[in-house]
């Protein structure tokens, strides 16, 4: 049974996970519908975004497995990571879509570090491969697929859809490491995550394609980008902490019983 404090934490987690999507926040920032930015992207933009997203996630996986540790932090360094993402976004805003294959891996690595900070602050052991992949999973939880319908967009539905790929990848990495990047287990996980986060990357690219967005605008876009995933990470790891204490099914039932006072994606 969740305590009153834990129920409030769960409610806050749901608020973070179900807040308005990135496109709405970007539209509010640039003052014009994000669709205008899509019209300004070149014909090849979809392929560029797809390749850049998969490459960034592959590099992020190496960062997660190779260099994250259990350094204890009293609170996650969200502001420091926002500033690092802003610096990366400034370059992307100045150069536009051409910079995406270079800028996205940098900003993704910064976001992953921030996600790991948040995971540690919620009691996770970052040396665990399962937890490292849970950090990577945040990118999918904060994204959407173009084929999503109402039954596929909920937090627990996405986790369930990813569960097998995450489990197979964790087993493979535990036994063999990342010596074979093309291993089916790794490819499946990256493909599933990229299919969801790719929508958000496209929206980021569209925002940075707007006229006069420039370096300053690119920095602000990246701050919104990382802020979006920091929120998702906080909600995700609050729920995982409650699951460790009370069991996954109990937490899921309590989550579903909350009054839906949030704006869905």
Please tell me the distance from the alpha carbon of residue 17 to that of residue 235, in angstroms, as a whole number.
6
| 263 found inside a domain | no
259: left (phi > 0), else alpha (psi -120 to 50), else beta?
beta
The answer to whether the CB of 232 falls within 8 A of the CB of 134 is: no
| 24 found inside a domain | yes
| 265 found inside a domain | no
| Domain that includes residue 208, residue range | 4-257
Segments in the chain forming alpha helices (H)? 4-17, 22-30, 34-40, 45-67, 78-95, 100-121, 129-141, 155-176, 184-208, 214-246, 248-257
For residue 67, what pLDDT is reported?
63
Inter-CA distances, 50 with 158, 170, 187, Å: 20, 24, 14
- Nearest CA to 251 out of 181, 156, 159 is that of 156
| 85 found inside a domain | yes
Number of domain units in the chain:
1
| 262 found inside a domain | no
For residue 158, what pLDDT is reported?
92
Lowest mean pLDDT among 113-127, 167-181, 214-228: 214-228
The answer to whether the CB of 226 falls within 8 A of the CB of 171 is: no
Lowest mean pLDDT among 15-19, 45-49, 76-80: 76-80
Please tell me the distance from the alpha carbon of residue 222 to that of residue 234, in angstroms, as a whole number.
18
pLDDT digits (tens, 9 = 90+) for 176-232: 887 666 789 999 999 999 998 988 888 887 777 776 555 556 677 778 888 889 999
Token pair 């990366």 in the structure block, residue: 88
Report residue 138's pLDDT band, with 50, 70 and 90 as the boundaries: very high
For residue 97, what pLDDT is reported?
63
For residue 79, what pLDDT is reported?
64
Got the DSSP string for 1-53? Answer: ---HHHHHHHHHHHHHHSSPPHHHHHHHHHTS-HHHHHHHS-TTHHHHHHHHH
pLDDT digits (tens, 9 = 90+) for 236-263: 999 999 999 999 999 999 998 886 544 3
Mean pLDDT of the chain: 80
Got the DSSP string for 165-183? Answer: HHHHHHHHHHHHTTS-TT-
pTM: 0.84
| 224 found inside a domain | yes
């Amino acid at each position: 049974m969740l305590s009153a404090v834990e129920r409030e934490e769960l409610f806050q987690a749901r608020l973070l996970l179900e807040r308005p999507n990135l496109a709405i926040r970007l539209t509010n920032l640039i003052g014009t519908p994000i669709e205008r930015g899509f019209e300004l992207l070149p014909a090849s933009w979809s392929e560029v975004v797809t390749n850049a997203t998969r490459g960034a996630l592959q590099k992020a996986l190496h960062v997660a497995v190779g260099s994250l540790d259990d350094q204890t932090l009293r609170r996650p360094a969200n502001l420091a990571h926002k500033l690092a993402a802003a610096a990366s976004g400034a370059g992307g805003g100045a150069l536009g879509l051409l910079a995406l294959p270079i800028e996205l891996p940098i900003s993704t690595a910064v976001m992953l570090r921030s996600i790991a900070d948040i995971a540690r602050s919620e009691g996770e052991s970052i040396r665990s491969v399962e937890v490292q992949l849970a950090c990577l999973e945040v990118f999918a939880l904060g994204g959407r697929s173009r084929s999503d319908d109402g039954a596929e967009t909920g937090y627990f539905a996405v986790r369930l859809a990813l569960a097998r790929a995450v489990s197979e990848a964790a087993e493979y990495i535990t036994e063999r490491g990342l010596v074979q990047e093309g291993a089916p287990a790794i490819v499946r996980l990256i493909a599933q995550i990229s299919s969801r986060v790719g929508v958000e990357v496209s929206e980021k690219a569209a925002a940075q394609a707007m006229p006069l967005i420039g370096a300053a605008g690119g920095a602000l876009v990246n701050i919104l980008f990382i802020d979006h995933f920091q929120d998702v990470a906080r909600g995700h790891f609050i729920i995982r902490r409650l699951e460790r204490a009370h069991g996954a099914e109990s937490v899921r039932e309590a989550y579903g019983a909350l009054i839906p006072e949030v704006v869905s994606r």
